[in-house]
Amino acid sequence: MLEGKHQIKHSDVIMQLLVYYCCLDVSQNQQAFIDASLKELEHILGKSPLSLNYSFRQLPTDLKNKIDFDADDLFKISDNVVRILNQELKGIRALLKLLVCTEYESGLAKLCRNYDKSAWWGVSTDWMAVVYKLDNKYAIWHETLHLLGAHDCYRKGKDGQVIDRGPTCNANCVMVYAPSEETVNIKKWPFLCEKNLCKLRKKFDHTAKNK
C-alpha cells in the first residue's frame, strides 16, 4: 500500500522542466562552481516538500551567440533573451527564462548595478536573472529561484529600489537580502518561507501544464 502511495506522489513529478543558464566572461573555476551549485539546487528542489523536477542546462553556444548581451539597456537584453528563447525553444519543455552568470566587473553586471544601486550581487527582470557574485552559491540560488517564481523577502518601492532590507519573513529563507552562510542555514531544507514554497509550486504547475 505504502509503495502504491509513493508511486502516485511521484507521478506528479515525472514532468520535467528545463531551465537554461549561460556564463559570460567567467573563469574555468567559476564555471565549475556555477555548474556544481546548480546541480545541487536541482537535487534539492527535487526533494520533499517541493519535489519539483527542474533540470538546469547550459544554453547551447549557437543560441547564446544570438543574444546581444552588449546592448546598452538591461531591458533590451531581457527582451532579446525572451524573443530568442521563444523562437528557439518552441515545443521544448523549458522555462522561457534565462539565468546569466557573469563576472562582477563585466559590462552587464555594471548595467545591472546602474539600474539598481542596491543590487549588490544580482538582479532579476521578468525574463532573465543576472548574478555576478559568483563565489557565493546563496546568491546564485537566490537569483535562480526568482526565475522559478520566488519573490524577495525584503521591501522594494514602486521603482524597484530597496526601501527596507527586512527580512519580511521569519523563516530560514534564501530570498532575504544578500543571503549568505551567516543568514541562511542551507543544511535545513526547505530554506524558503511558506509563501515562496507556494509560489514555486504554482509556477511549476502553471508552466508544466501550459507546455
Binding mask of the shown chain, residues 170 to 209, with x at each position contacting Zn ion by CB under 5 A? ---x-x-----------------x----------------
Per-residue DSSP letters for 153-170?
A: SSEE-TTS-EEE----S-
Rounded-to-integer distance, Cα 205 and Cα 169, Å: 24
Residue 128 interacts with Zn ion (CB under 5 A): yes or no: no
Contact between residue 34 and residue 100 where contact means Cβ atoms under 8 Å apart: no
Taking the complex as a whole, how short is the minimal distance between the CB of residue 103 and Zn ion, in angstroms?
20
Q: How far is the CB of 93 from Zn ion (least distance, A)?
A: 26
The strand pair at 162-164 and 155-156 is best described as antiparallel
Query: Which of 132, 182, 120 has its CA nearest to residue 30?
Result: 132
Interaction pattern, residues 53-82, with Zn ion; x per rule: CB under 5 A: ------------------------------
| Residue 168 CB, nearest approach to Zn ion (Å) | 7
Under rule CB under 5 A, residue 152 binds Zn ion: yes
- Report the distance separating Cα 120 and Cα 116, nearest Å: 9
Among 108, 131, 169, 178, binds Zn ion (CB under 5 A): 169
Q: Which of 67, 129, 131, 153 binds Zn ion (CB under 5 A)?
A: 153
- Provide the grid cell at 88: 528557439
CB of 52 or CB of 112, closer to Zn ion: 112
CB of 5 to Zn ion, least distance (A): 30
Q: How far is the CB of 104 from Zn ion (least distance, A)?
A: 17
| 191, 185 contact by CB (below 8 A) | yes
Asked if 52 is part of the footprint of Zn ion (rule: CB under 5 A), the reply reads no
Helix then strand count (H, E) for the chain reads 7, 7
Binding site for Zn ion (CB under 5 A): 152-153, 169, 173, 175, 193
